[in-house]
Structure 1
Amino acid sequence: MLHYAKLDKCFWAEAAMTAIYIKNCLPSPKCQDQTPFEIVSGFRPSVKHMRVFGCRTFVLTPKEKRSKWDPKAREGLFMGYEEVSKAYRVYDIEADQVVISRDVTFDESTLGFSPMLPQEIVDDTALDIESMNISDEPHPMQFKQTGKCKSRSNSQEQVLQRTLLERRGTGLEEASAPDDSESHQAKRRSSTRDNLDKERNVSDEDNEDATPQVFWRASANAVEGTDLSEPTTFKDAVDGADQVHWRKAICAELDSMKLRGVFRATKLPSGQHTIGTKWVFKIKRKADGSIDKYKARLVAKGFKQKYGIDYTETFSPVVKYVTLRMVVSITKYFGWTLDQLDVVTAFLYGEMKEKVFCAIPEGVEVDEDFDCFELVKAIYGLKQASRVWNETFHEFVCSIGFQVSDFDPCLYVKITSGECVLLLVYVDDVLVTGSSTELIMRTKSDLKAGFEMTESGKCAFVLSIELVDNDNGSVTMCQRRYVEDVLKRFGMSDCKAVTSPTDISSRLIPSTAAAKIDAPFREAVGALMHLMTATRPGIAFAVSYVSRFMENPQVEHWMAVKRILQNLQGTKSHGICFKPDDKIDFCGYSDADWAGDHADRKSTSGYAFILMGAPVSWGSKKQSSVSLSTSEAEYIALSLTIQEGKWVHRLLCEILDAAEDKSGPELKIMEDNQSCIKMTKNPVNHGRAKHIDINYVNGHRFSTSIGNRDRSNPNRLFSLVFTT
């Protein structure tokens, strides 16, 4: 096939897959003159859509990806048939990559050519560094744009590797089903059951498309979750449809590195090693899904760093979700504004303590005297980058009069003349609020003097959380767009909604089967975990429950995850709503089931703390020991609740003290088990609790108000949400 099509051997992977596809559509004596396709699907395969391998093609460029005077199609070579969609695979000659498209016109009279694999390719988009004369001290790197520059070319092995990766679904530019054009595809088959039955008995000439419908549905779901607008390589970015935006983003990144003095060009010292770099491209979107900006990041391949040589400590704190929710509720109560700032290339501010050398990035050239860069500042991808940035920001914020909170290392408080301002930091996202507009403006000016920052105004979207102001003065925190992305990612965008995230009649147990299911179980649970910890306490128990089966998930466990996704389908806009009142109401709830895990008979603890009508902290956790009674299970859950409550209450009081509000509420926890309540109020050795060694509850019975929760109260739903 390659020889006939006059193609280079670098296309052998595409040719092999196309040959397999064709062979599966041909009769075989070993299959009693049936085709392998027919044996699997029960239908005779159609050959009307088949084309000559390697023939010339013209792929339609979508309107949104071309300007008025650009050609409507790009020339390519036919590579074969896409496995997961009703489309063709075409080698785009100009883009030098395999794309998937339904809009293809074929010229089967003209076969392709063998593309040369040059040693050097002239690239007018590359960025280089001015030639430098080395002295005793390495010179800082200097960037500039040039008209021409040499860039490294892909070897045949790299091209072949890219082809194999693309065959597995990476780097695809467009994916869709072929249209009804007779020039390149057979007509679509009717989806009705009657037509499907008729096709089983017709001849090959009449059977226009015998691929089972269920295959196309699964294929569409697989392709649907891929964001095809973000390039995966440097070449895709600077040569693609959005090259103008990506080139600006690349220049902005390199300008930031030059401004910060991130690199020093040098010769690699003897005994040292370099780590690679990679360009990462991301489209940052607004709350409504529209494009905010194009971001290009030069990241280090930190997985090549060696512990003790290239790095030591790596931990870096971020603001806790509890703190974020509490500050949002407090700002509504006092009528404060919550503004958002973003630090531009934040990691580039951190000073490196270790000597780390990196390879010359793609698209950048240096003088021949140098063969690598020494990292003076941290860059994205380094294991210690986040920690170094956090230390730098912490030192600066403290130098302008802020004090770090005792209960959250990423909450900063500043009190001046009876007025306060609060800072919340999540990596490079900074939220500012306070009682004085003047003090807030002064704080912003101080921050901008120390770091390059962009201001987004009033915070409406942070950490995938939407902040929606309602007409009644309340504020809702939800993740509607994130839920839609999760459903799309796991092929559940069109699923049927259910009212509850768990099926209380099902009993899941760990499996001893050797084989695992072919499903993205861990990825789905991880995505749900983020949603649950941020704004959706209603799925706390359901997510906690399925997370117990991460080791060896089976079909029934995957179905439980899909049920949670089905519940999200009908509750996309649900979240937590803070309603400001005359006073700050704060109350905790504790509950537990008994022997709810049918595998080891351990119980589940659940808690929630309500502030101004909405939860600010919640959790559902399997107990570490077996409880002998319901009262013991409730007692253990109450211990967990008090531990969380102490921290949440102190955090709340700290914020209120900064706001000069001395009316902080007491810590009150509601419990519905009478035996448990009596055990907490009377410090005697009850028969049901005498074996409990460390009694945390009794140690705090005088500082915590434990009340009787009315089972008829609407908050009774708490039991169903956190412990089932």
Structure 2
Amino acid sequence: MLNGSNIPAFYWAEAVLTATMLCNLIPTPSRHNLRPYFLWKAFPPRIKRLCIFGCRATVSIPKSHCGWKLCPTGSEGILLGYENDNTSYQILRLSDKKIVISRHETFDENSFPSPRDAPSEPLTINCNASRTDSELVDEAQPEEAEVVDEAHSEETMALCVDNSPVSLAEKSPDLMPDQAPRHIKVIGPQHPTLINSEIDSTNILTFSRRPKTYRTTSKDCPQTFNSALNSQLKDEWSRAVNKEFNSMNRLQVWDVIELKSDYRLVGTAWVFKTKRDPQGNVLECKAHLCAQGFSQTSGIDYHKTYSPTGRLNSLRSLIAMVATCNLQFHQSDVNSAFLNAPLSEIVYLSIPQGMMTDRQKFCLKLRKAIYGLKQAPLAWYERLKAWLLKTGFRACLMDPCVFFCQQPSDLWLYIHMDDIAIFGSNIEPFKKEISLEFDIKDIGMEDLLLGVKVGHSSSHVSLDQQHFTKSLLDLYGMSNCRPVATPLLPNKHLSPATENEVSAFNSLGISYCSAIGSINYLSTATRPDLYFTVPQAAPPLTLESFSPCPMLSPRYTKSGRCLFETWLRRIGCLQ
């Protein structure tokens, strides 16, 4: 088979598989002249689709992969085998010597090209070689190019851009050897002009490269205590640090005690961040003293952990209720929320930077939780939940971060760590009541609700995360990328990365999981059009379907009021 079709021995495996398949299609006398293929599959084989091994094949190119409407619609190749019960063909593409699987092709069983005939590298021309007109220029037309004499060939020359351009009739890699041009003509000006002066910078082509590495840190946020006090915003960061210390002293978060040798100290670190508006402008500088929770031991320093972050489905349902029932919604932020939560475990803390206390002799015994502790979010949630239950609220069964109260008026709360979104017809009495218990910052009816921009009018409510999307593009160096209408290339199937691709990607310093997780958050929050893209880029991920509430019937998804009322009855909040 290999010799008869001019196929190199390199493709012996494809020949063996094809020969084995053909043997299974031949009737066997030991099986009553039945074909082994029929005995195994229980249906006759597709004999009509068989072609001669090694014959010429033309593989059709999809329209989506064509550069323009006049480009070739087919690529030359060689038949090397079959796939999927003879429904697909293995074609060796001559242009790049790659084996492709195709269903749409035509065959010429009278022609048997060899893979050796395909060009493996593009044609290159050495302009400084001594062989000139006898090899590169057609003898019949010597006037179309001139040979530079040896005296000028050793000099460095440049062609003036104002002269007629030099064109080379290059050999196309898709052409067969018998279709290649016999001669290569070099057509240029008869008298090239030497440029002895300096070249204008406007005639020099420049291009920019993406940076090899990207820093995954927040913009304008210092990473250490010393860098914050030495930055341009040192006054703002200093006020933020003093505000954090004042809050801890006012709430009596710790006691300064003498350090003993048997104490298990938990380290501390300062975390600085900026709060921005939807346009990205800095509104406030915040500083939090955080414990280094990675040094805690389960069963000794903490027992249970939980983060009170409400589900996005719940938030969308509440916003839908605002649109349909014409309700109000405000946002409130609990200042130093974790500092209000008492601790049940004994935790010793090292003296933080900025505190005028001897670190060698003293330490801090925590009374209440601080940021960074493993159990701090759970302690804050239990503190807030206890107060809400005492004031008449009830927690939803399906989402413990959603609380509701029907007396004196319907009121709904959505909890996301220290942020509280309030929904109802009359929310001012509750805002006054909660401000007496906690230090509340009333944000009001802002467009940015928990990181999601809410556009509301008398008839509809829209959600978008344009600011978050722009920050992702800035983070990964794609701010100037060209936008496209579709999130994926058509007919593009991703395959697992090879070791070389993984090592090349790791050299960029980018966290692939972090990038996919950010797109996943967008797809589940406000960009359902990206929902199909994420599983393609991360097959191991399991994603929930995008819907305002997954336990509802699809017929309720068009009406926000019916959706929300049905949800309430399902979880037992309404009779």
Please indicate, yes or no, whether the TM-score normalized by the shorter chain is above 0.5. Answer: yes
Q: How does 1:257-656 map to 2 (within 5 A)?
A: 257-366=248-357, 370-417=361-408, 419-435=409-425, 437=426, 440-470=427-457, 473-511=459-497, 513=499, 516=502, 517-518=505-506, 519=508, 520=510, 521-548=512-539, 588=554, 610-612=557-559, 651-653=567-569
Q: Does the 8 A contact of 2:396 with 2:571 survive in 1? A: no
Distance 1:447 1:239, change over 3 A: same
Q: Does the 8 A contact of 1:261 with 1:376 survive in 2? A: yes
Partner amino acid for 1:422? Answer: W
Q: Distance in 2 between matches of 1:465 and 1:615?
A: 24
Distance 1:224 1:194, change over 3 A: farther
Partner of 2:140: none
Partner-residue secondary structure (3-state), 1:433: strand
Distance 1:515 1:498, change over 3 A: closer
Q: Deviations over 1:333-359 (max 9, x none)?
A: 111100110000111111111111111
Partner amino acid for 1:588? Answer: P
1:381 Cα deviation (Å)?
0.8
CA RMSD of aligned residues (A): 3.6
1:217 to 187, 209, 219: 209
Partner-residue secondary structure (3-state), 1:331: helix
Q: Distance in 1 between matches of 2:443 and 2:221?
A: 23
Q: Distance in 2 between matches of 1:615 and 1:463?
A: 25
Partner amino acid for 1:484? Answer: K
Q: Distance in 2 between matches of 1:576 and 1:444?
A: 31
Distance 1:481 1:369, change over 3 A: closer
Structure 1 unaligned residues grouped into runs of 5+: 1-192, 551-574, 578-585, 590-608, 617-647, 663-724
1:231 Cα deviation (Å)?
1.8
Partner amino acid for 2:404? Answer: V
Q: Distance in 1 between matches of 2:216 and 2:477?
A: 7
Distance 1:383 1:227, change over 3 A: closer
Q: Does the 8 A contact of 1:477 with 1:576 survive in 2? A: no
Q: Deviations over 1:505-531 (max 9, x none)?
A: 012233464761335322210110111
Q: Does the 8 A contact of 2:267 with 2:292 survive in 1? A: yes
Q: Distance in 2 between matches of 1:401 and 1:544?
A: 43
Q: Does the 8 A contact of 1:263 with 1:375 survive in 2? A: yes
TM-score by length of 2: 0.59
Q: Deviations over 1:241-288 (max 9, x none)?
A: 112211111111111110111121112334222121111111101223
Distance 1:613 1:524, change over 3 A: same
Q: Distance in 2 between matches of 1:273 and 1:368?
A: 14
Q: How does 1:10-49 map to 2 (within 5 A)?
A: none
Q: Distance in 2 between matches of 1:365 and 1:514?
A: 53
Partner-residue secondary structure (3-state), 2:480: coil
1:240 Cα deviation (Å)?
2.2
Partner amino acid for 2:494? Answer: L
Q: Distance in 2 between matches of 1:249 and 1:259?
A: 15
Q: How does 1:146-225 map to 2 (within 5 A)?
A: 216-219=208-211
Distance 1:367 1:278, change over 3 A: closer
Q: Does the 8 A contact of 1:267 with 1:369 survive in 2? A: no
Partner of 1:238: 229
Partner-residue secondary structure (3-state), 2:372: coil
Partner of 2:123: none
Q: Does the 8 A contact of 2:395 with 2:402 survive in 1? A: yes
Q: Deviations over 1:486-517 (max 9, x none)?
A: 11111111111111112340122334647613
Partner-residue secondary structure (3-state), 2:288: strand
TM-score by length of 1: 0.47
Partner of 2:46: none
1:207 Cα deviation (Å)?
12
Partner-residue secondary structure (3-state), 1:525: helix
Q: Does the 8 A contact of 1:478 with 1:576 survive in 2? A: no
Partner-residue secondary structure (3-state), 1:341: strand
Structure 2 unaligned residues grouped into runs of 5+: 1-159, 166-193
Moved more, 336-345 or 452-461: 452-461
Q: Distance in 2 between matches of 1:611 and 1:271?
A: 63
Q: Distance in 1 between matches of 2:359 and 2:267?
A: 19
Q: Distance in 2 between matches of 1:271 and 1:515?
A: 50
Partner of 2:36: none
Q: Does the 8 A contact of 1:576 with 1:615 survive in 2? A: no
Partner-residue secondary structure (3-state), 2:532: helix
Q: Distance in 2 between matches of 1:433 and 1:613?
A: 15
Q: Distance in 2 between matches of 1:241 and 1:393?
A: 37
